[in-house]
Structure 1
Amino acid sequence: MKIALLGTGFGQAHAAVYAARDDVDVVMFGRDPDKTARVAGQFGFASSTDLDSAFDDDSFGLVDLCLPIPLHTPMALRALAAGKHVLTELPMAVSMKEGRSLVAAAEASDRHAFVNMFERFVPANQVLDDAVREGAYGRLEELTCWSATAPLWPGADLGTKALPMEAMHSDLDLITRALGTPREVHVTAVERDAGAGAVEAVMTFDGAIARSSATSLRPLPWGGRGGYTAAFTGGVLEAVSTMGYDGKPTTTLTACTADGVHEVPLDPADQYTAMISHVLAVVRGEADNLIAPAGALDALELTLRIDRQVDPAR
């Protein structure tokens, strides 16, 4: 499959996955010809600044969008209208109106649309999903998700106003899948400067509570870390991860019940590879789409709800 990869920033995380495959042909698109050629060359890809050709060239089967969030829905709609499969980074939209427009377009198209809900492919999160669905530890009563990062990505905005959309969205997807839509959401935030801050949201459900926190108030040696604690009526699951730009976190998952504490074995985590492998399998007709836009609406709605409390002007 020939893939148009739009974006030379976070697009590098996707590019590294494609470069390890022998069943794709990738062209990387960017605005700056020198930077685009340099970055694309690192992965052995061709490069282009002719954005229109990503949509107009019939040889491209999939458009992969690693662009600023406000461009996700407009570019995804354009890709679908051009008869392309499309993968967009998260969040898929900046409003529920936009999100629903993408859902409608995807459902009306004979092409597949995907949202990079990469955390659904994290082994520790899959254990939690299974535990909730199967009732392995009883009913889920409390879920705390957290992420804390240093400024690992030069130029990236991780200030308070950016954190809900940029850093909390995937954890909020985990929460909505486990508990549904909260009745109440209470948000607190602190900002060091325009590029660093912390946000915490406390959510109440019928018979349960959840928390989600994200902070960029960490020095560079800290790197990136995160995890969750899920308390059920019959036990606790706790995941702690160290993570980086490559989407390959190192995670320890512990289960605590009345019988004691033990470590839960996990497959190595490589969620970007797993996500892109899933996308290509769906396009080939070998799997059902697990990350279609319709399945991302609940998390988007909660993320926007928190975002508005952090920045009422939005």
Structure 2
Amino acid sequence: MKIALLGTGFGQAHAAAYAARGDAEVVMFGRDPEKTAKVAGQFGFAASTDLDTAFTDPSFDLVDICLPIPLHTPMALRALEAGKHVLTELPMAATLEEGRQLVSAAEASDRQVFVDMFERFIPANRVLADTVHDGTYGRLRELTVWSAMAPLWPGASLGLRTLPMEAMHSDLDLITRALGMPRDIHVTAVARDADAGAVEATFAFDGAIARSSVSSLRPMPWGGRGGYTAAFTDGVLESTSTMGYDGKPTTTLTAYTGDGAHEVDLPPADQYAAMIDHVQAVLRGEAENQITPAGALDALELTLRVDQQVNGVR
């Protein structure tokens, strides 16, 4: 498979996953010739600044879009029109209208479209989804999802303008997949400056509540931490994770019932590698697409609603 990887920023996370696999030919595309060549060279990939080639060269099978959010849908639609499979970073669109447009285009195409909902491949999150689906501990009544981080990515803003769309989206996907869309939302936010702040959202459902909080008000030694607490009628699941400079999280998952507490064994997993594995398996015809645009639409809508309460209409 030959892949056109667009973007030298977060595209490096995808590049690392491709390089570790070694079964794909990758060309990394960027605007700056020197930077693009340097980043691509770190992974043993070719580099190009001719973006049009990603769409016009018939040898490319998949276009992987790791560009700023406003470019996700336009580039995905362009790739589909060119007959390419598409993997786009999240959120898949900057507006709900664009998201629906991508859903329609994907469903009308014979090409596969993937949204990088990487959190779905985190083992602890898979356990939560399975527990809700199977009713292992009864009905889910309360779900709290949180993350707090230091400025681990130099040059990247983690202020209120970016936190809902770029930091809360995955957590909100966890909530919508577990409980659906809420009937009521309440959001509060605080900013330290333009590049650091915190957002907390509370959601009301029929017979359940959920909370999502994200904060960038942490010093560098904190690293990144997060997790969830899911309270069911007959038990509780609690997940905690930490992440340092290497980007590799360590996670624990504990189940609490009337019989006591026990640790849940989790397989080792790199969520980005697992996501790329899934994309490759689908394109080989070995799996059904679990990260379609249609399946990511509820999370996009909820994220946009939170963002509007924090930042107003953009």
What band does the TM-score fall into relative to the shorter chain?
over 0.9
For 1:262-273, list aligned pairs within 5 A. Answer: 262-273=262-273
User: What is the CA–CA distance in structure 2 between the aligned matches of 1:195 and 1:122, rounded to whole Å?
Assistant: 28
Aligned residue number for residue 237 of structure 2: 237
Task: Identify if the C-alpha distance between structure 1 residues 19 and 245 changes in structure 2 by more than 3 Å, giving closer, same or farther.
Answer: farther
Task: Identify if the C-alpha distance between structure 1 residues 244 and 112 changes in structure 2 by more than 3 Å, giving closer, same or farther.
Answer: farther
Structure 1 gaps of 5+ residues are none
Q: Is 1:247–1:271's contact at 8 Å kept on the other side of the alignment?
A: no
Q: Does 1:165 align with 2:168?
A: no
User: What is the CA–CA distance in structure 1 between the aligned matches of 2:245 and 2:281, rounded to whole Å?
Assistant: 24
For 1:61-210, list aligned pairs within 5 A. Answer: 61-210=61-210
Moved >2 Å (runs of 4+): 243-248
Aligned residue number for residue 256 of structure 1: 256
User: What is the CA–CA distance in structure 1 between the aligned matches of 2:152 and 2:95, rounded to whole Å?
Assistant: 28
Residue 221 (structure 1) shift: 1.0
Residue 246 (structure 1) shift: 6.0
Deviation per residue, 1:226-281 (Å, 9 max, x gap): 10000001111000011257653210000111100111000012100000000011
Q: Is 1:13–1:245's contact at 8 Å kept on the other side of the alignment?
A: no
Aligned residue number for residue 24 of structure 2: 24
User: What is the CA–CA distance in structure 2 between the aligned matches of 1:135 and 1:20, rounded to whole Å?
Assistant: 37
AA partner of residue 197 (structure 2): G
Aligned residue number for residue 217 of structure 1: 217
Residue 160 (structure 1) shift: 1.1
Aligned residue number for residue 296 of structure 1: 296
Give the 3-state SS of the residue equivalent to 1:159 in structure 2: coil
Question: Over aligned residue pairs, what C-alpha RMSD do you find?
Answer: 0.9
User: What is the CA–CA distance in structure 1 between the aligned matches of 2:221 and 2:57, rounded to whole Å?
Assistant: 44
TM-score calculated relative to the size of structure 1: 0.99
Give the 3-state SS of the residue equivalent to 1:119 in structure 2: helix
Deviation per residue, 1:31-59 (Å, 9 max, x gap): 00000000000000000000000010001
Give the 3-state SS of the residue equivalent to 2:21 in structure 1: coil
User: What is the CA–CA distance in structure 1 between the aligned matches of 2:79 and 2:243, rounded to whole Å?
Assistant: 31
Aligned residue number for residue 38 of structure 2: 38
Q: Is 2:237–2:256's contact at 8 Å kept on the other side of the alignment?
A: yes
User: What is the CA–CA distance in structure 2 between the aligned matches of 1:286 and 1:160, rounded to whole Å?
Assistant: 41
AA partner of residue 270 (structure 2): D
Task: Identify if the C-alpha distance between structure 1 residues 16 and 253 changes in structure 2 by more than 3 Å, giving closer, same or farther.
Answer: same
Structure 2 gaps of 5+ residues are none
Residue 21 (structure 1) shift: 1.5
Residue 145 (structure 1) shift: 0.2
Task: Identify if the C-alpha distance between structure 1 residues 109 and 279 changes in structure 2 by more than 3 Å, giving closer, same or farther.
Answer: same
Deviation per residue, 1:272-309 (Å, 9 max, x gap): 00000000111111110000100000000100000000
Task: Identify if the C-alpha distance between structure 1 residues 230 and 244 changes in structure 2 by more than 3 Å, giving closer, same or farther.
Answer: same
User: What is the CA–CA distance in structure 2 between the aligned matches of 1:258 and 1:269, rounded to whole Å?
Assistant: 30
User: What is the CA–CA distance in structure 2 between the aligned matches of 1:153 and 1:301, rounded to whole Å?
Assistant: 26
What percentage of residue pairs aligned between the two structures are identical? Answer: 79
AA partner of residue 20 (structure 1): A
Give the 3-state SS of the residue equivalent to 2:144 in structure 1: strand
Q: Is 1:249–1:269's contact at 8 Å kept on the other side of the alignment?
A: no
Aligned residue number for residue 311 of structure 1: 311
User: What is the CA–CA distance in structure 2 between the aligned matches of 1:201 and 1:269, rounded to whole Å?
Assistant: 29
AA partner of residue 161 (structure 2): K
User: What is the CA–CA distance in structure 2 between the aligned matches of 1:167 and 1:257, rounded to whole Å?
Assistant: 31
Q: Is 1:28–1:36's contact at 8 Å kept on the other side of the alignment?
A: yes
User: What is the CA–CA distance in structure 2 between the aligned matches of 1:234 and 1:126, rounded to whole Å?
Assistant: 19
Query: How many residues matched?
Result: 314
Q: Is 2:223–2:245's contact at 8 Å kept on the other side of the alignment?
A: no
AA partner of residue 308 (structure 1): Q
Give the 3-state SS of the residue equivalent to 2:106 in structure 1: helix
